[in-house]
Structure 1
């Protein structure tokens, strides 16, 4: 059984994943920004189930280094890291201020980098590890009103492509999980633009994002299989696979978009292997099926 650290463990994907892994006998630690407030009930339930909870802010380097160290100490080691902490954004792209964009990238991109820098020395020293990353279907394509969020997940995917190759020689395998939209509290905490002057310039079109969001909510309500538990099932299934035989990307979607993203991923995987083969370094891809 593995020793697993999940960032953002109190979130929509983190909690069911942690509970599923604990149920399978894995040891789990997870991070939250604050134990109290809105996380208090979830933290209590996770701790009652056997999870170790540490306070950690992935936008702060010292906090991240301390939190990862506490988690490793509580677990007595680290076999699996699940970079799950994230923040969403929604709105007309021009209305997003540079500060709005910075908040999203600080969590979804730079935050992951902080966690990796804190955890990787341990994994490299032991010569083995598994790192999972929560991306998104719109980390592969872009849809209206999600430009900033998509950009952050596109950036994450690029970084992970590099980590995949650069860590393979140290026995560290990499896996990206790409969920479709899910009905979670994630939507309640999204960064939204607040720029009424620019919004006025869009006229009636300024009402379209709200209409689109309402349509998505209705679709998710009607798609009963599209639930956060599917992410937990995907993570459990990945960890059940033999080391070095896990797929690099796993799509989790029941809205009908998933097969198209899988087709796109298959083509990119072939292109990536061809390019690396031309440079004689295709072996750097060998820790994935």
Structure 2
């Protein structure tokens, strides 16, 4: 059975890999990206299976128009993949206001815009899946990625809430959390002038680890794309899908530490409850 997908950010990385894999097996793909000509080779190879449109997810009007056009052209869209992203690699002090606005507008507000545009149409057709591409950094943190984490933790909170709201309509939502993977995303990270004050801090340590190649990229991008497709084929709709040994271990460690700290505050938490409520 042919599945129809709508994917943002398809010029490279997971978006491009997913598009290639899906077209190869005969699925239809509405591929959106800033430069549609980047997929000309796939258009020539797969013809009408590929529908493309220019999309900048920071433009609310453009998001609404492109989503409307995609549903009109393809009739039904079974899976919406929120994949477009932007990363800033800088300490909290180093990043500029423009960089902060862009990372939030792309990763958080851009993803929200796509979901809000798609939901009325998914409800009308009575089924659908939303895959929100996040990261291990949606639940764990690393120095120099504070604004990236802010956007990803934000979209995970949004997605977790929306998943509850849309389940009665037959629409599933899964947050996909790939770990560090050689997709080229790291080389496209935006940076800022380095402040010497942070050189002897964890921020400096991470900067040097990435520069030297010691910051590992243990995961296979093709296998991650395959796992995403397999999830949709299975019909399962977990809230989260961790992909990568680093995602599994780092998120698990973060959750264990968070729970331990949470439990340590039980006594003070209950101490502020009004007597009448106890």
Q: Could you say whether these structures have the same fold, taking a TM-score greater than 0.5 normalized by the shorter chain as the test?
A: yes
TM-score bracket, shorter-length normalisation: 0.7 to 0.9
RMSD: 2.4
Q: 1:227 to 1:203 in 2, by over 3 A?
A: closer
CA drift of 1:193 comes to: 2.1
CA contact (8 A) 2:36 2:54 kept: yes
172-181 vs 202-211, greater mean Cα deviation: 202-211
CA distance in 1, matches of 2:216, 2:141: 19
Q: Name the SS for the 1:130 alignment partner.
A: strand
CA distance in 2, matches of 1:230, 1:156: 24
CA contact (8 A) 2:76 2:125 kept: no
Q: For residues 104-253 of structure 1, what are the structure 2 equivalents within 5 Å?
A: 104-194=103-193, 199-202=195-198, 208-216=205-213, 219-220=216-217, 223=218, 226-242=219-235, 245-253=236-244
Q: What do the CA deviations read for 1:183-225 (whole angstroms, capped 9, x no partner)?
A: 122123222223x6xx1444565754431212456633xx4xx
Task: Report the counterpart of residue 65 of structure 2 in structure 1.
Answer: 66
CA drift of 1:231 comes to: 2.3
CA drift of 1:266 comes to: 10
Listed as ranges, the gaps of 5+ residues in structure 1 are: 269-289
CA distance in 2, matches of 1:79, 1:9: 17
Q: Name the SS for the 1:93 alignment partner.
A: coil
CA distance in 1, matches of 2:22, 2:257: 32
CA distance in 2, matches of 1:257, 1:85: 20
TM-score (norm 1): 0.80
Q: 1:2 to 1:128 in 2, by over 3 A?
A: same
The correspondence for 1:46, drawn from 42, 46, 49, is: 42
CA contact (8 A) 1:89 1:191 kept: yes
Q: 1:174 to 1:216 in 2, by over 3 A?
A: farther
TM-score (norm 2): 0.83
CA contact (8 A) 2:160 2:239 kept: no
Q: What do the CA deviations read for 1:225-265 (whole angstroms, capped 9, x no partner)?
A: x12212211111111112xx3222111114x4424535867
CA distance in 2, matches of 1:191, 1:152: 15
CA distance in 1, matches of 2:32, 2:257: 35
The correspondence for 2:248, drawn from 258, 262, 268, is: 258
Q: Name the SS for the 2:31 alignment partner.
A: strand
CA drift of 1:25 comes to: 2.6
CA distance in 2, matches of 1:60, 1:228: 29
CA drift of 1:4 comes to: 0.6
CA distance in 2, matches of 1:77, 1:257: 33
Q: What do the CA deviations read for 1:61-114 (whole angstroms, capped 9, x no partner)?
A: 111112112222332221110001111111222212332211101000000111
Task: Report the counterpart of residue 19 of structure 2 in structure 1.
Answer: 18
- Would you say how many aligned residue pairs link Structure 1 and Structure 2? 253
Which of the pair has more CA radius of gyration? 2
CA contact (8 A) 1:180 1:252 kept: yes
